[in-house]
């Protein structure tokens, strides 16, 4: 299972959509989340321009302001959506894996800057965790870090850092998912780095479409047929 996180300053321009489409085609992630899309309405045509294929479904968050809209897309050959929840600062889906029927949840977060709103985010996520009670993966921009070393010029632990660490510790993620691998990719059209999260491999067991290769015509036996 692989995830791709992309943050752009808007997807209204065709060249930016084409860049995303090429990324998806090259990396072939199972789940993609896009931030700062600046798109007021997400249509099937928009999804097709980004994903390229027909095996896709999506959900999106549009309540965080014009510049922070969030889009979540996934490969329907890999996961089926069981349920979704769109909050004030997050969009979440409960998925069922197609291969083994494993049920789990994924949340895409866009964290607010004010301390009071950030505490509302923790409450929103705690509520979601207690509601679904399934294995949970989360990604996004929390607008907060855990350690001073992660922020330039910071030398002390702030209240926000402590609250973020408390939230992670209470979910016990570090102990439950010790083999998860996160890779930072190169920058593309944004001042943010692309991030790929890998948690295992997926092998599609369904029938594959037949494709004729022109090089087969170079074989003598093929010409005879």
Task: Say how far apart CA 147 and CA 141 lie, in whole Å.
Answer: 15
Q: How confident is the model at residue 194 (pLDDT cuts 50, 70, 90)?
A: low
- Contact, 94 vs 105, CB < 8 A? yes
- Contact, 58 vs 47, CB < 8 A? yes
pLDDT for 103 equals 94
Long-range contacts for 109-117 (Cβ within 8 Å, ≥24 apart)? 109/138, 109/139, 109/140, 109/141, 109/142, 110/35, 110/61, 110/64, 110/68, 110/70, 110/140, 110/141, 110/143, 111/140, 111/141, 111/142, 111/143, 111/144, 112/64, 112/143, 113/143, 115/159, 115/160, 117/89
Task: Say how far apart CA 202 and CA 30 lie, in whole Å.
Answer: 9
Q: How confident is the model at residue 148 (pLDDT cuts 50, 70, 90)?
A: confident
pLDDT for 67 equals 44
Average model confidence (pLDDT) across the chain: 78
pLDDT for 169 equals 81
pLDDT tens by residue, 23-72:
888 888 899 888 777 777 788 888 898 898 889 999 988 745 544 578 89
Query: Across residues 105-113, what is the average pLDDT?
Result: 87
pLDDT tens by residue, 89-103:
889 999 999 999 999
Task: Say how far apart CA 174 and CA 190 lie, in whole Å.
Answer: 29
pLDDT for 97 equals 93
pLDDT for 201 equals 45
pLDDT for 203 equals 41
Long-range contacts for 45-48 (Cβ within 8 Å, ≥24 apart)? 46/11, 46/17, 47/73
Over 80: is that where the pLDDT of 212 sits? no
CATH for 2-205, among 3.40.30.10, 3.60.10.10, 3.40.50.720, 3.40.50.300? Answer: 3.60.10.10
pTM for the complete prediction?
Answer: 0.69
Which percentage of the chain shows pLDDT scores above 90? 16
Q: Where are the domains of the chain?
A: 2-205
């Amino acid at each position: 299972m692989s995830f791709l996180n992309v943050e752009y300053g808007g997807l209204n321009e065709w060249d930016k959509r084409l860049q995303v489409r090429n990324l998806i085609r090259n990396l072939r992630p199972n789940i993609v989340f896009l931030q700062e899309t600046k798109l007021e309405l997400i249509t099937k045509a928009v999804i097709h321009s980004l994903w390229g294929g027909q095996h896709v479904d999506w959900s999106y968050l549009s309540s965080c302001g014009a510049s922070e809209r969030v889009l979540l897309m996934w490969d329907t050959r890999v996961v089926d959506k069981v349920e979704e929840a769109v909050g004030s600062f997050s969009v979440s889906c409960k998925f069922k894996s197609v291969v083994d029927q494993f049920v789990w949840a994924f949340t895409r977060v866009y964290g607010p800057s004010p301390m009071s709103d950030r505490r509302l985010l923790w409450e929103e996520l705690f509520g979601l965790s207690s509601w679904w009670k399934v294995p949970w993966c989360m990604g996004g921009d929390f607008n907060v870090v855990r350690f001073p070393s992660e922020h330039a010029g910071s030398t002390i632990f702030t209240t926000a850092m402590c609250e973020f660490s408390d939230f992670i510790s209470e979910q016990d993620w570090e102990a439950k998912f010790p083999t998860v691998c996160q890779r930072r990719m190169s920058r593309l059209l944004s001042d943010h780095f692309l991030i790929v999260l890998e948690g295992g491999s997926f092998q599609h067991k369904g029938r594959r479409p037949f494709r004729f290769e022109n090089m087969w015509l170079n074989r003598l036996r093929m010409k005879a047929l």
